[in-house]
Amino acid sequence: MSRLFHLPAVLALSVLLCAPARASEEKAAFIEANILSIFYHELGHAVIDLMDVPIFGQEEDAADVMAVLLIDWLYEEETAQAIAYDSAFGYINDPEQTEEVPYWDLHGPDEQRFYNHVCLFYGANPEEREELAADLGLPDERAETCPEEYDQATASWGMIFDEMDAAKTGVPMRLDTGSGADGGMLTDLLTTEIAALNGDMKLPQELLVRVESCGEANAFYDPEEISIIFCTEFIPHLQDLFDRQTVD
């Protein structure tokens, strides 16, 4: 299911943001990468629901894994590395480490999700991604197991995608901007991505993707409506996150 085109990680949003400076381009790339990673994560929840995927462990972890696999499978190497690199930092929501870690949450701690993301992506192609893993601080002890972790992930998720590929027909995803008609870059990026994914995967039911204002930076899958809700508030959240993680 590899894409036939090379999507520049910086181009789309840097144009939309009219950002001539390199710092603005880097911020645009960070936002784009994290929108894609978040969308793939929520799509993971949708696939788990619609394809009746058995999950042994936390569903959030399984959705994280599918997000990394899609980045690895869909993009050419340079673009995949750019997306994986930037989206890894999307897990670090408290870079100043001022908040108490909610160990009770369904999601794992930010740092653990960060390293799981890096490890799985590295494990898919260790020779090409050794420098990326080093830049992101993946310890050697963990790096040794990453290729095996990747093989386990592809064996599990690969069966699901093989099943979708084998289906004679599929129902395409549909975008509904709703109250997010002014979602701008978010709407534009998801429009392009949904059109591409509709050619890559076959779902048994229609999946609605709604862009709307939620009053908070959030994205989630609604199994009752069979929809992914992507909140417009995520854009300023990601802009702020980039600023807080950037060292002058």
Banded pLDDT at 247 (limits 50, 70, 90): low
Per-residue pLDDT for 70 more than 90? Answer: yes
Banded pLDDT at 24 (limits 50, 70, 90): confident
- Sheet (strand 208-212) strand order: 174-176, 208-212, 227-231, 219-222
Cβ(229)–Cβ(219) below 8 Å: yes
Calculate what percentage of the chain has a pLDDT beyond 90. Answer: 69
**Per-residue pLDDT tens over the stretch 205-238:** 999 999 999 999 999 999 999 999 999 999 999 9
* Packing angle, helices 59-74 and 77-89, rounded to 10: 150
pLDDT of residue 175: 95
pLDDT of residue 107: 55
Q: Where are the chain's structural domains?
A: 11-245
The values of phi and psi at residue 211, to 5°, are -105, 120
**Per-residue pLDDT tens over the stretch 84-129:** 999 999 988 544 454 554 543 445 577 889 999 999 999 999 999 9
**Per-residue pLDDT tens over the stretch 136-184:** 999 999 999 999 999 999 999 999 999 999 988 999 999 998 654 555 8
**The residue type at 236:** P
The rounded radius of gyration (Å) of the Cα atoms in the chain is: 17
Helix (H) or strand (E) holding 126, with range, is: helix 126-135
Q: What is the pTM of this model?
A: 0.86
pLDDT of residue 18: 46
Residues 6 or more apart whose Cβ sits within 8 Å of residue 171: 202, 203, 204, 205, 206, 207
Q: Which alpha helices (DSSP H) does 167-221 contain, by range?
A: 185-197
Cβ(40)–Cβ(66) below 8 Å: yes
